[in-house]
Amino acid sequence: MTIHLQMKKGSEQNFQVLIVGGGDGGVAREVAKHPAVETIFQVEIDCRVIEVSKKFLPFMSVGYSSPKLSLFVEDGFKFMMQHKEEFDVIITDSSDPVGPAVSLFQPSYFKLMRDALKPGGVVCSQAGTVWANLEHVAQTLEHCRSVFNVAAFAHVAVPTYPSGQIGFVLGSLNSILKDYIKCDVGCKIKNKKNGHPCSWKNWLNLWILRPTKLTFLHGVSTELDPGLR
């Protein structure tokens, strides 16, 4: 899902996509499926992760066989510093914010992604789950919002993750994220508040952070416990 969220930019072609992390090859595998993608640049800092994935996770590492892919074993921070306004989509497939990975959840990292984006580009980064660490989700989204004009939090059901969900933050310098809020016209479920059809087809919800609540972009909100604000 971290891949397919960004690929809804419309009918544009010749996407230049950057993947930071994703050493198992699964993100590259999914990105390569999109016909609009011309080139995939992947930056993984640990060559051992790639080697082990190719040996034990062939169904994931098949992504490395795509002719669209250019693989770089180096620091993603340095790579983005050297590539300004080059990418339509930047995807960060990282581990949780522990140890060195903490730097991938800070404002400085979101600024690097912003500077590496083309005008109209979109970023997506792993952001945990509201059920396990709501404070971390809110903080990561706030960091994204401090850099991008439009930001949102998305979550999807994945049984193998703690709490059965995984979340992502998305950011853009323009209003393109609003185009992602497309509802399934065949869905019969209606939001009583505004009569807008809600799509449950993909088990995906987008959220915007407010001072005292997390608000669904479809218009249904859930209040936060005051102690969690």
Would you please indicate which residues are annotated as catalytic (active-site) residues?
93
Unique residue bearing structure tokens 């544009």: 12
3-state secondary structure at position 72:
strand
Residue 50's CB: how many other CB atoms inside 10 A? 19
Residue type, 173: L
Instruction: Identify the DSSP state of 94.
Output: -
H/E run at residue 20: strand 15-21
**Burial zone of 22 (CB within 10 Å; 0-12 exposed, 13-18 middle, 19+ buried):** buried
Partners of 153 in the β-ladder: 169, 207
Distance CA 191, CA 28 (A): 36
3-state secondary structure at position 183:
coil
